[in-house]
């Protein structure tokens, strides 16, 4: 399958900020690193938590942020529907489809069920050969250690093929994660 340069990264992350300031700081570092690399952000469009922090960091560093928010979540997730780059869509399904279409790579930052659901969807679609865009997770404070353990267990127990173990790039450092995504997107 052909690959192309990573121009936009889709970030899945918490609508909450988490208890430790390290999470929000990592979201800001990741956003600033995207902007510095000339890579645009595609995100869920919310203004709260990790989502709000990563998007604000991108735009304040002069980068491009594209938010995709379902109409029914505009208020709840405090989206600025009139902000440049904001798309208001009709459903959660439309949101996910547009986010996936617009991006050349996917990254999860710490978050809850919504974050994990979105990450697993793009990983499973990659496993099925439905796309070949690189997928990663920013392992802030070891938050995603369980994910690594899960993948190893799934391979070890014969529920996942070992060649699929490498579908997820797990990395604690924002700049390094972006480099690795770009290298595997070449």
Residues near ligand AMP (CB under 6 A) are: 14-16, 44, 46, 73, 77, 92, 96, 111-115, 117-118
Helix (H), strand (E) at residue 114: helix 113-127
Q: Which is nearer to ligand AMP, 46 or 136 (CB)?
A: 46
Q: How far is the CB of 118 from ligand AMP (least distance, A)?
A: 5
Min CB(45)–ligand AMP separation in Å: 8
Q: Which residues contact 56 (CB under 8 A, 6 or more apart)?
A: 28, 31
**1 CB burial (10 A radius; 0-12, 13-18, 19+):** exposed
CA distances for 22 relative to 50, 59, 141, 154, angstroms: 11, 20, 8, 30
Judged by beta carbon, residue 13 or residue 184, the one nearer ligand AMP is 13
Number of DSSP helices (H) and strands (E) in the chain, helices first: 6, 7
Please identify the residue of the shown chain whose CB is closest to the bound ligand AMP.
114
Q: Pick between residue 101 and residue 117 the one whose CB is nearest to ligand AMP.
A: 117
The distance of closest approach from Cβ of residue 162 to ligand AMP in the complex, given in angstroms and rounded to an integer, is 29
Residue 16 CB, shortest distance to ligand AMP, in Å, is: 5
For the bound state, the minimum distance from the C-beta of residue 4 to ligand AMP, rounded and expressed in Å, comes to 25
Residue number with CB closer to ligand AMP (125 or 185): 125
Distance CA 15, CA 23 (A): 12
Please say which residue, 66 or 115, places its beta carbon nearer to ligand AMP: 115
Location of structure tokens 């928010």 = 69
| C-alpha to C-alpha distance for 141 and 27, rounded to whole angstroms | 12
């Amino acid at each position: 399958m052909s690959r192309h340069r990573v121009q936009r990264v889709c970030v899945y992350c918490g609508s909450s900020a988490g208890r430790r300031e390290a999470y929000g700081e990592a979201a800001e570092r990741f956003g600033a690193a995207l902007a510095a690399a000339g890579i645009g952000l595609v995100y869920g469009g919310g203004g709260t938590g990790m989502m709000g922090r990563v998007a604000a960091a991108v735009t304040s560093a002069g980068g491009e942020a594209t938010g995709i928010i379902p109409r029914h979540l505009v208020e709840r997730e405090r989206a600025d529907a009139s902000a440049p780059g904001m798309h208001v869509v009709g459903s959660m399904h439309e949101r996910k489809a547009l986010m996936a279409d617009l991006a050349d790579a996917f990254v999860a930052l710490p978050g809850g069920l919504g974050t994990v659901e979105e990450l697993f969807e793009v990983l499973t679609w990659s496993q099925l050969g439905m796309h070949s865009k690189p997928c990663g997770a920013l392992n802030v404070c070891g938050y995603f250690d369980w994910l690594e353990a899960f993948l190893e267990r799934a391979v070890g127990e014969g529920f996942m093929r070992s060649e699929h173990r490498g579908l997820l790039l797990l990395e604690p450092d924002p700049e390094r994660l972006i480099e690795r995504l770009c290298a595997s997107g070449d």
